[in-house]
Amino acid sequence: MSIDLYYNKFSGPSRAALMTVRQLNIDINLKQLDLSAGEHMTPEYLAINPNHKVPTLVDGEFVLWESRAIMQYLCNRYAPDSTLYPKDPKKRALVDRSLNFDFSFLAQLSEVMAAKIILGIEPPADKVTAVNGSFKLLDQLIGDNRYITGDNLTIADLSLVTITPYLEQGGIDLNLYPNVQRWADTLRDELPYYEEINIISQAEWDTQVEKYRAIMGAKPE
């Protein structure tokens, strides 16, 4: 039975799902969609995912979208005893809490990064304040832990760490949040697939940004 993952490399949630696949050593077929070309809006893709987002997982006849649900499913289905998504109710609850925090944090960050990277303008001050507050909270949650929820890598780490390429493009200095910086550096150094999945060349970023500016009618500074 084949497994397909529809994704886009510029999508953090897509990269989170892909890292989960790699961490669990699952054999899948990768199907990259060019969102700037509208490939996520074709009738064929909408038949699979009417929410027209990425990633989408197709496991035989089972179709699932939303990255966090995909990550949880992959662990439950293919590695139920893995510490990547622990069985212990309290440990799992901490992972789920981080995933829910990640969902709201990514929404905050997306607004700020879209203004900086695509529109070429300074984001509203209240949006920046909200993002800074979330970074401070994340820094506090990590504390002295090696990973988000303790001593074991989990899908919460894989989901949250995908924000780092956006931060680099948006000029956000993680040195202001030393625990976050240490945690991100740890994952970058120890995950053998990290750079392959998350490092995007400046030329690729520039090309993608220009495509989105054209779509949105935005003008660079």
Nearest to 105 by CA among 23, 60, 162, 147: 162
Do the bridges between strand 56-59 and strand 62-65 make them parallel or antiparallel, or are there none, so unpaired?
antiparallel
Which residues are 58's β-sheet partners? Answer: 4, 63
Q: CA 205 to CA 202: how far, in whole Å?
A: 5
Cβ neighbours of 52 (radius 10 Å): 17
Cβ neighbours of 34 (radius 10 Å): 12
Q: CA 17 to CA 138: how far, in whole Å?
A: 21
- Among all residues, which ones are annotated catalytic? 11
Cβ neighbours of 211 (radius 10 Å): 15
